[in-house]
A and B are shown apart, each in its own frame.
Chain A
Amino acid sequence: MLVSTFTLGDLYLGIDIVLVREINRSMECTPVPGSQDYIRGMLNIRGRVITLFDLKKRLGWSGDDVAEGGAVKQYNVIMKTHSEVLKINPGLAESKCPWEDPVGLAVDQLGDVREIVDDNILPPPANMRGISADFVHGVVEFERNLLIILDVAAVLGFDERQSG
C-alpha cells in the first residue's frame, strides 16, 4: 500500500494514504477549553471545522519533548472521514476509518510517499520507544529506518468501539 510518511521528533511515522485527505502547514487553531489535552483545538479549512489532535501529546510524550517540537513549524495531516473513505474503499472504511468528523494530526516534518508491500509489515516490537504499541498498526524496516505505521483509529480513540 501507499503510505504517507512524516516525522515526529525522531520517530518516522506513516499513515495509509487512502486515509489522508490533505496536508497543510499548521495554522492557528481555536483551543477547546475542558477537552483532552491531546486535542489542540479546531481549525477552519474551507468552511469545514476540523478537530486537530496533537499527535505528540496523544502518544504520551512528556512536556519537554512536546515543547522542543513546538518551536519547529509543524504540519497538519487532515484525515478523510468515514463517508469519504466509504466512496473509495468500503472495506477499509469499515475496518480502519470509523471516525465521522473531520480530524487532523499535527506532525513535525513531512516525508515522502512510500510504497510498502503488505507482507513486510511486522508487528510492533515490544521494546519500542516513544510510542505505545496500542497506536501502532505495524512497523516496516526501511533504509535502516523503522517506519511505524499508525493505527489512526486507535490514535483517535476508537479502539474500544472496534473491539466492543
Chain B
Amino acid sequence: MAGELVLARNQLTRAAVEVQTQFPHFGPLIQNLDSITSRIQEKVMQARMQPVSVVFNKFPRIVRDLARKLEKKIDLEIRGGEVDLDKSVIEHLSDPLTHMIRNVADHAIELPQERIKIGKPEAGRVELAAYHENGLVNISLADDGAGIDAERVKQKALERGQITERQADAMSEEDALNLIFAPGLSMAKKVSDVSGRGVGMDVVKTNIEKLGGTVTIQSKVGKGTTIILKLPLTLAIIPAMIVSSGNQRFAIPEIGLVEIVRIAESDRANQIETVGNAPVLRLRNMLLPLVDLAEVLGVSRVWPPGGDNFDRRERLSDRRAQARKARDAARLGGSTGLAASKGATVGDDRREETADRRDPNNLVAYVMVLNVGGNEFGMVVDEVLDSEEIVVKPLPSYFKDNLCFSATTILGDGSVSLIIDYAGLMEQAKINFSNVERATRMDLDEERRAALRERQNIILLETGTGLIMGIVHSMVRRVEKISPKLLDTIGGLPYVRYDGRTFRAVYPDQVMGLEGMGYSGGDPEEEGDADLCMVVPNIPNIQAGLIFSRIIDTRETHIDLDCRAIRAEGLFGSAQIDDRVVLFPDVNTVLVLAGIEMPHTQSQVDRSGLKALVVDDTPFLRALTSNYLQSVGFDVDQAEDGQAALAKLRTGEFDLLVTDLNMPGMDGFELAHEVPSTIHADIPMIATTSSISSDVEQRCFKAGFVSCVPAIDKNRLLKVVSLMQARD
C-alpha cells in the first residue's frame, strides 16, 4: 500500500506543475502532501525492515523440542540475526525455514550413538546464518549430519515414476539433489509426525521463488548438507535516478551510484578519450571505462521532436569537429596526419550527439559513475531527469534473458520504465569492451600500488591510427626514419628494406587489436607521402621493427601506469603524460603476436610448475620481469622490496629469485646476503639492474647471484634461466 501511495504522490506532483499555473496556492499544498507522504513512507519502510532474528529466534526452541522428541542431541548456532529484511520477505520465510529445520533435525542429524560410532561429536551441529552478498541476503542452513545420498534420491524418484531410468543415468549429482525439491518426493524411510509426508521441500522452493529468491543445495554423504536461500533485500521501494538515453527513460538504482559527472562540451575533449575501441573518462587521475547506455541497449538516438533541429546539429557538429581538429593538432605539437584527426572526430561523433541535446553554447553529457563489485565504470546518458522513489515491479518473464534490466517500475507520469541492472549492463557491454575486460581482474590493492610513481626514459610515438604509445628507451636499439617507398609486401606481410637488410614491419596498434577506434585507418594516398618511423627493439638478431607514423617526443618522466583502464594483449597498461593517454606496449609480446619468432623460443625453456619470486621496487619493471618469467611457464609471485621478499621466502616455496639491485630499504645485495638464512639457502638468484658494468657483475657473483642481467632484457634473462635448467 505504501508503494501505491508513493506512486500516487509522484503522479500528483507531476500533475501539479501544470495546475499551479492556474491555482497558485496549489503548489504549497502539494509540497506539504509530498513531505508527509515521504515521512509516512520512511516510517513504513522502517517498520517493514525487520531483523531476521524475528524468525530465527523461534528456532532454538523448536530444535530443543525436536531433539528431545527424537532423542538426539543438536546444537543450533545462529549467526547474522541482525540482518534486516523486508517484512513481507520475513513473513514468507518463517514456514520454509521451519520446515527445513525440522527436516534437518529428523533426517540429517544421526542418533547420538550412531554419531559416536562414526567418529562424530555426540551432538549434531546445525548452523543457521544470514549474511549479505551481492545485494542479496543469503540464509544458509548447514548441518554436519548424514548428508543426502544422491543415488538414493534418484532411486526414490524412479520408484515414484518422476524420472525415467534414462534420465536417472544421465543425471548429475547436483541435478539429483535438486530432485528433493520435486513435489511428492519424501526421503523419509517412515512417515512421522515431524516430517516425511512428502509435502516439503517443493513447498520451500515455491515459497522462496515467489519471493524472487533461489534455493541451492549442496550435500556430501556422511559430511552434511548446506542449503542456501538467496533472497532480495526488499521488494518494495528503492531510490533511483531517472535518466534518459535515446529518448527513453530508465531508472538507475542509487545503490552503487558513486557520483554523476557533468561534462560540458568545452571540457569534453580534455576529459574523454577513445583508446582502442573503448572510450575512457579521465576523472581525478583515474581512467574510467565508459559505457554508452544507448549504445549498449541498441536504442537509436532520436533527436527530440522538431525536425529542423536536425540540420542545425549537423552544422554544429561539423564546426566543432573543425575546432577540435585544430586543437588536437596543437596539442600534439604540430602537424598531425590528417587521417588521425579525422579519425578522432569520427570516433567521438556519437558522444557529440549526446552533447548536442543542449544549448549549443553549453553542450553537456552526463556520466553516471557506478560501482559494480569494486569495479567502477561510467555510464553515459543523455540527461539526468529526476531522483524518484520507485516501486520495483518484477520484470515479465519474457525479458528474463535480458541482462541489462533487473525490474520495471511505473514512473510519475504513469508510464512504465525499466530499471537498469549494472552488473548485467557491464556484462552486455563486454562486447564493446573486450579489450578492457579480457584480462583477468587483478587485485585492486596491487593496482593501486602499481600506480606508484616511477621515473623512466621513454619515447613517445604516434601510430598511423593516432594512438600515442610509449616505449621505454632502453628497449629500443634505434629509431629509423623510413620512407614509405621502402615498405613492401611479401607474401601478404609488410616488410621494410633498410640498410641492405629486410625488416618485418609490425603495426603495433593492429597487432594489439587497438585500431578499431573508429579510425578508419586513413586514406592510403595520404599515408603515402609522410615519412614513417621504425623502432627497432633492443632484442639481438631481431629482424623486425615497429612502425609508427612519427616520433612525438622523448622524455624522462614519471609513469603512473594504470593496468586496469585499457587492456589488450601485448599491452602493459596506460598512463597519462601531458594530459594524453599513452599506451605502453610490451614489445616482446607485440612481436610474438605479430607472428615473429623470437630468437629465443619458448620451446627451449619451459619452466611451468616452478615458482619464481620477482623483487623490484618499480612496479613497471616488476610487472615486466614477471611477465617474461610467466611467458616461460613460471608461477610468479612479486615483492616490492627486500624485506617483503624475505618475508615471502620464509613462508613460501620458490625455485627462483629475481631481484633488482637498487631498492630502497633493503637492496638486492643485502637481500642476497640474507637469503641463506631462510629455507631457500640454495635458491638460484638472478640480479637485474638498469646500469650494468663489470664492477657490478663482480659484486653480483660475490654476493652469490648466478647472473646479472639488464632489467628489461628478456632474452638475457631467459637465457640465464635456460642455462640453469641445463645445469640441473
Residues of A within 8 A of B (CB): 28-36, 39, 41-44, 47, 49, 51, 99-103, 156-157
Listed A/B pairs (6) with beta-carbon separation below 8 Å = A35-B402, A43-B416, A49-B416, A51-B396, A51-B399, A157-B398
Question: Most chain-A Cβ atoms within 10 A of its Cβ — which of B4, B297, B397?
Answer: B397
User: Is A44 in contact with B396, judged by CB distance below 8 angstroms?
Assistant: no
Who on chain A is nearest to B391 by CB? A47
User: Is A35 in contact with B399, judged by CB distance below 8 angstroms?
Assistant: yes
User: Is B410 in contact with A49, judged by CB distance below 8 angstroms?
Assistant: yes
User: Is B410 in contact with A31, judged by CB distance below 8 angstroms?
Assistant: no
In the complex, which residues of chain A have a beta carbon less than 8 angstroms from the beta carbon of B393?
A: 49
**Contacts beyond the supplied A51-B399, A101-B397: 8 A-B pairs with Cβ under 8 Å:** A30-B417, A32-B399, A33-B248, A34-B298, A47-B410, A49-B393, A49-B416, A51-B398
Asked whether any CB of chain A lies closer than 8 Å to the CB of B291, the reply is no
List 3 tightest A-B contacts by C-beta distance, closest first.
A33-B297, A101-B396, A42-B416
The answer to whether residues A101 and B4 also contact, given A30-B415, A33-B404, A47-B410 and a CB cut-off of 8 A, is: no
A156 to chain B, nearest CB (A): 8
Who on chain A is nearest to B410 by CB? A44
In the complex, which residues of chain A have a beta carbon less than 8 angstroms from the beta carbon of B7?
A: 47
Question: Most chain-B Cβ atoms within 10 A of its Cβ — which of A29, A34, A41?
Answer: A34
In the complex, which residues of chain A have a beta carbon less than 8 angstroms from the beta carbon of B402?
A: 32, 34-35
A49 to chain B, nearest CB (A): 5
Asked whether any CB of chain A lies closer than 8 Å to the CB of B390, the reply is no
Bound form: Cα–Cα A51–B393 in Å = 13
Who on chain B is nearest to A28 by CB? B415
User: Is A34 in contact with B416, judged by CB distance below 8 angstroms?
Assistant: no
Which of B4, B298, B398, B414 interacts with A39 by CB under 8 Å?
Answer: B398
Bound form: Cα–Cα A36–B404 in Å = 14
Asked whether any CB of chain A lies closer than 8 Å to the CB of B408, the reply is yes
Bound form: Cα–Cα A36–B410 in Å = 22
User: Is B298 in contact with A32, judged by CB distance below 8 angstroms?
Assistant: no
Bound form: Cα–Cα A62–B194 in Å = 61
Question: Most chain-B Cβ atoms within 10 A of its Cβ — which of A31, A42, A99?
Answer: A42
Bound form: Cα–Cα A32–B417 in Å = 9
User: Is A32 in contact with B397, judged by CB distance below 8 angstroms?
Assistant: no
Who on chain A is nearest to B294 by CB? A33
B211 to chain A, nearest CB (A): 15
Bound form: Cα–Cα A33–B416 in Å = 13
Bound form: Cα–Cα A94–B589 in Å = 61
The answer to whether residues A44 and B298 also contact, given A35-B402, A49-B393, A49-B410 and a CB cut-off of 8 A, is: no
B425 to chain A, nearest CB (A): 11
The answer to whether residues A30 and B416 also contact, given A35-B399, A49-B393 and a CB cut-off of 8 A, is: yes
User: Is B398 in contact with A101, judged by CB distance below 8 angstroms?
Assistant: yes
In the complex, which residues of chain B have a beta carbon less than 8 angstroms from the beta carbon of A49?
A: 393, 396, 408, 410, 416
In the complex, which residues of chain A have a beta carbon less than 8 angstroms from the beta carbon of B672?
A: none
Total A-B contacts with CB atoms under 8 angstroms apart: 59
Asked whether any CB of chain A lies closer than 8 Å to the CB of B238, the reply is no
The answer to whether residues A35 and B398 also contact, given A47-B7, A49-B408 and a CB cut-off of 8 A, is: yes
A76 to chain B, nearest CB (A): 13
User: Is B405 in contact with A32, judged by CB distance below 8 angstroms?
Assistant: yes
Which of A33, A39, A44, A103 interacts with B299 by CB under 8 Å?
Answer: A33
Asked whether any CB of chain A lies closer than 8 Å to the CB of B468, the reply is no
Bound form: Cα–Cα A42–B395 in Å = 10
In the complex, which residues of chain B have a beta carbon less than 8 angstroms from the beta carbon of A29?
A: 416
Asked whether any CB of chain A lies closer than 8 Å to the CB of B517, the reply is no
User: Is B418 in contact with A32, judged by CB distance below 8 angstroms?
Assistant: yes
Question: Most chain-B Cβ atoms within 10 A of its Cβ — which of A32, A33, A39, A41?
Answer: A33
User: Is B398 in contact with A44, judged by CB distance below 8 angstroms?
Assistant: no
B400 to chain A, nearest CB (A): 10
Bound form: Cα–Cα A155–B560 in Å = 57
Who on chain A is nearest to B249 by CB? A30
Bound form: Cα–Cα A34–B399 in Å = 9
User: Is A44 in contact with B414, judged by CB distance below 8 angstroms?
Assistant: yes
In the complex, which residues of chain B have a beta carbon less than 8 angstroms from the beta carbon of A102?
A: 396
Bound form: Cα–Cα A102–B7 in Å = 20
Bound form: Cα–Cα A44–B410 in Å = 7
Which of A30, A47, A51, A100 interacts with B418 by CB under 8 Å?
Answer: A30
User: Is A44 in contact with B4, judged by CB distance below 8 angstroms?
Assistant: no
| Interface positions of B from 399 to 452, Cβ below 8 Å from A | 399, 402, 404-405, 408, 410, 414-418, 428
A26 to chain B, nearest CB (A): 14
Bound form: Cα–Cα A28–B402 in Å = 22
In the complex, which residues of chain B have a beta carbon less than 8 angstroms from the beta carbon of A157?
A: 398
Who on chain B is nearest to A43 by CB? B416
In the complex, which residues of chain A have a beta carbon less than 8 angstroms from the beta carbon of B414?
A: 44
In the complex, which residues of chain B have a beta carbon less than 8 angstroms from the beta carbon of A36?
A: 398
Bound form: Cα–Cα A47–B3 in Å = 11
Bound form: Cα–Cα A32–B405 in Å = 9
The answer to whether residues A34 and B297 also contact, given A43-B416, A49-B393, A100-B397 and a CB cut-off of 8 A, is: yes
In the complex, which residues of chain A have a beta carbon less than 8 angstroms from the beta carbon of B297?
A: 33-34
Which of A31, A33, A42, A47 interacts with B396 by CB under 8 Å?
Answer: A42
User: Is A34 in contact with B396, judged by CB distance below 8 angstroms?
Assistant: no
A79 to chain B, nearest CB (A): 12
In the complex, which residues of chain A have a beta carbon less than 8 angstroms from the beta carbon of B248?
A: 30-31, 33
In the complex, which residues of chain A have a beta carbon less than 8 angstroms from the beta carbon of B399?
A: 32, 35, 39, 51
A63 to chain B, nearest CB (A): 16
A106 to chain B, nearest CB (A): 14
Who on chain A is nearest to B3 by CB? A47
In the complex, which residues of chain B have a beta carbon less than 8 angstroms from the beta carbon of A32?
A: 399, 402, 405, 418
User: Is A44 in contact with B405, judged by CB distance below 8 angstroms?
Assistant: no
In the complex, which residues of chain B have a beta carbon less than 8 angstroms from the beta carbon of A103?
A: 396, 398
In the complex, which residues of chain A have a beta carbon less than 8 angstroms from the beta carbon of B398?
A: 35-36, 39, 51, 101, 103, 156-157
Who on chain B is nearest to A157 by CB? B398
In the complex, which residues of chain B have a beta carbon less than 8 angstroms from the beta carbon of A33?
A: 248, 297-299, 404
Bound form: Cα–Cα A149–B508 in Å = 63
Question: Most chain-B Cβ atoms within 10 A of its Cβ — which of A28, A39, A43, A101?
Answer: A101
A41 to chain B, nearest CB (A): 8
In the complex, which residues of chain B have a beta carbon less than 8 angstroms from the beta carbon of A42?
A: 396, 408, 416, 418
Bound form: Cα–Cα A101–B399 in Å = 11
B513 to chain A, nearest CB (A): 26
A42 to chain B, nearest CB (A): 4
Bound form: Cα–Cα A44–B4 in Å = 13
In the complex, which residues of chain A have a beta carbon less than 8 angstroms from the beta carbon of B299?
A: 33
